[in-house]
Chain A
Amino acid sequence: MSAPKTESVRKIGDTILKLENISLAFGGVKALTDISFDVREHEIRAIIGPNGAGKSSMLNVINGVYHPQQGTITFHGDVRHNMRPHDAASQGIARTFQNIALFKSMSVLDNIMTGRTLKMKANFIEQALWIGRARREEFAQRAKVEQVIDFLEIQHIRKTPVGRLPYGLQKRVELARALAAEPTLLLLDEPMAGMNVEEKQDMCRFILDVNEQYGTTIVLIEHDMGVVMDISDRVVVLDYGKKIGDGTPAEVRGNKAVIDAYLGVAH
């Protein structure tokens, strides 16, 4: 189902997400200090940095799990104030988690179906009686979910409870669940952590395919520099909650502050 890769499929557009002067603190611990960057439509934007740099906190700010004490977030031209995660979801932001956050006892199919929960309008009485809209919706959404299942090549594990799957497949199912929501902005928190080379290659291919075929804008956190430099358009570098670099992979690679953060400074 992979289309031929042509750069013309995705044109990097205007800024869709703009973060200005974001500061987030938990009590006395400053997780993020005065961070600003933007994400353009259809691009793959990587956030990198050493452990504890504030990368995951950044994603949590974007999709409303954390509320920054200072700064503004502008998504699709609207400034957002203290939105809840499900508001972010209804605006088209989906994400995966660093430690897999699947619904362990549910089947792969049910997990991915939850990704389409916002598309279902039937009330619970219609669902209890299994009539009309509830029935129609269930099968229409199932058909959409099957497309995602085909896209990520997980047909064979449809009915398996996710708790029984190996780690690499669980990561893929989590991506499927996020994709099922048809997001405009997809946040991936270390999608390749703990994978072997083959699994990483597969995951890279899926991320690029999602980006090219659906035009989804992707913000990803990743520690594998080879992967980050290969697939991302622009990279933000954080260290100790501060932004120390921003630009194309080549620019970031040559940045003195970034090299110091990763390799340490000679004293």
Chain B
Amino acid sequence: MFYREAGQFKTSYQADAAIFPIRQDRVAIAAVLVIAYAVIPLAATPYIFSALLIPCLILALAALGLNILTGYAGQLSLGHAAFMAIGAFASYNFMLRVPGMPILLAFVCGGLCAAGIGILFGLPSLRIRGFYLAVATLAAQFFIVWCLAKVGWFSNYSSSGVITAQAIVILGYTFDTPTAKYLLVLTIVAVMALAAKNMARSNIGRQWMAVRDMDVAAEVIGIRLVYAKLLAFAVSSFYAGVAGALYAYAYLGTVEPEAYNLDLSFRILFMIIIGGVGTVLGSFLGSAFIVLLPIMLNFTMQFMEQTLHLSIPMSAASNLELMVFGGLIIFFLIVEPHGLARLWQIAKEKLRLWPFPH
């Protein structure tokens, strides 16, 4: 198998700007889509859907949102779980209070609400940057979750603050099985990932990266920093909002504001750092890594216990899992600080020359 573009000449700018300019890539992505849409629904068990694939895809979408803000536009945020919460609670309220509200429209409205709040909490970015901005977004994290728990109206005055997501019904079809939910989530995530890639390769993406790399030069060239930064916050929060709504509707079912705590914000941040900052692919790889690794570790523990008869006390086992998890994150950051997406990039460059060394 040769992964190289020999003999594939680009004769137009259209071909050169394509998302997958090399034929092998197009074949590979087509294969991935076929597997995701046709093979997995037939092969996977409900457990795999609801414990692995659905959260993996939803968190990839949230990570994609954070990657737009942090990876592309260079603005650090520690409040993305809060924007997810806004998406979830706003969608819930739209479904609850607007009669005949289509669910997809409710997701979009939830995303738009998150985008509005995102712009509000993005305003400090016009003055401050780096760690100081991170602290400002940390305020968003605490304030929003507190507000959603405190103000009864958001959870329709439920005594415990827990909301139960309405059933997902589109055009009369109820998405109630894990397979159906998986296919819905997959479609939404695929469409939004495509949109993110389109933004990344066009003018707005270049503006974001220019602001990230050298904001003075960006302004001198004619980029309006206010617009570019706030749009990054808006788009990023929109992605987080839709992800949050899906998290409630397609994954958890019943959800309280505390589900979107700082811990989730950090997990999303870890995903983009491990997956690759400033890449669409990295969001997916990072999400898969963070979601799958604890489960893999769990399986390994069970294997050790049952097959090798190494009895590990329960308390030690759960701590050991966290320690191995943390250790692996540090290992990856040292070995490849640019993330898993960069490893894939290096592999591609190597494959272009393989089997020759130069």
Shortest beta-carbon contacts, A-B, top 3: A89-B222, A101-B217, A103-B213
Answer yes or no: B252 CB below 8 A from chain A CBs.
Answer: no
Q: Give bound CA distance, A129 to B204, whole Å.
A: 12
Do residues B218 and A114 form an inter-chain contact, with CB atoms below 8 A?
Answer: yes
Given contacts A65-B220, A117-B221, A137-B203, 10 further A-B contacts (CB under 8 A): A102-B213, A102-B214, A103-B212, A110-B206, A114-B207, A127-B202, A128-B199, A129-B195, A138-B17, A139-B13
Interface residues of A in 108-157 (CB under 8 A from B): 110, 113-115, 117-118, 120, 122, 124, 127-130, 134, 137-139, 142-143
Give min CB distance, A178 to chain B, whole Å.
8
- B219 contact set on A, CB distance < 8 A: 84-86
Query: Which residues of B are found within 8 Å of A65, using beta-carbon distances?
Result: 216, 220
Contacting B198 at CB < 8 Å: which of A86, A102, A115, A128?
Answer: A128
Q: 30 A-B contacts, Cβ less than 8 Å apart?
A: A65-B220, A86-B219, A86-B223, A86-B224, A89-B220, A89-B222, A101-B220, A102-B214, A103-B210, A103-B212, A103-B218, A104-B213, A104-B214, A105-B278, A106-B213, A110-B209, A113-B203, A113-B206, A114-B221, A120-B203, A124-B199, A124-B231, A124-B235, A129-B198, A130-B202, A134-B202, A139-B14, A142-B17, A143-B13, A181-B222
- Bound together, the chains give a CA A100 to CA B5 distance in angstroms of 33
The SS class assigned to the B binding surface is helix
Which of A90-98, A223-231, A256-264 lies at the interface? A90-98
Q: How far is A69 from B224 in the complex, measured between Cα atoms in Å? A: 24
- Asked if A177 is at the interface of the complex by the 8 Å CB criterion, the answer is yes
Q: Nearest Cβ distance between residue B99 and chain A, in whole angstroms? A: 28
Tally of contact residues, B, Cβ under 8 A: 31
Q: Spell out B's residues near A (CB within 8 Å).
A: 13-14, 16-17, 195-196, 198-199, 202-207, 209-210, 212-214, 216-224, 231, 235, 278
Chain B residues contacting A115 (CB-CB under 8 Å) are 221
Report chain B residues within 8 Å CB of A124: 199, 204, 231, 235
Shortest A77–chain B CB gap in Å is 21
For the complex, give the distance between the alpha carbons of A142 and B199 in Å. Answer: 16
**When chains A and B are docked, how far (Å) is the Cα of A184 from the Cα of B210?**
23
A135 to chain B, nearest CB (A): 8
Beta-carbon contacts of A160-191 to B below 8 Å, as 1s and 0s? Answer: 00000000000000000100010000000000
Pick from B13, B209, B235: contact of A142, CB below 8 A: B13
- A117, B207: Cβ atoms under 8 Å? yes
Chain A residues, CB < 8 A from B196: 128
Contacts of A89 in B (CB 8 A): 220-222
Query: By the criterion CB–CB under 8 Å, are B195 and A103 in contact?
Result: no
**For residue A137, which residues in chain B have a CB less than 8 angstroms away from its CB?**
203
Residues of A within 8 A of B278 (CB): 105
Shortest CB–CB separation between residue B149 and chain A, in angstroms?
33
Measured between beta carbons, the chain A residues less than 8 angstroms from B217 are 97, 101-103
Q: Is the CB of B13 within 8 A of A117?
A: no
Q: Is A63 an interface residue (CB 8 A)?
A: yes
A120: chain B residues within 8 A (beta carbon): 203
For A88, what are the chain B residues with a Cβ–Cβ distance below 8 Å? 220
Q: Which chain B residue shows the least CB distance to A103?
A: B213
Tell me, in angstroms, the Cα distance from A127 to B198 when the chains sit together.
6
Query: Whole-angstrom distance from the CB of B229 to the nearest CB of chain A?
Result: 13
Considering only CB atoms, which chain A residue lies closest to B198 in the complex? A130
Contacts of A106 in B (CB 8 A): 206, 209-210, 213
Task: Report whether A103 and B209 are in contact in the complex, using a CB–CB cutoff of 8 Å.
Answer: yes
Known: A129-B195, A177-B221. A114 touches B216 (CB 8 A): no
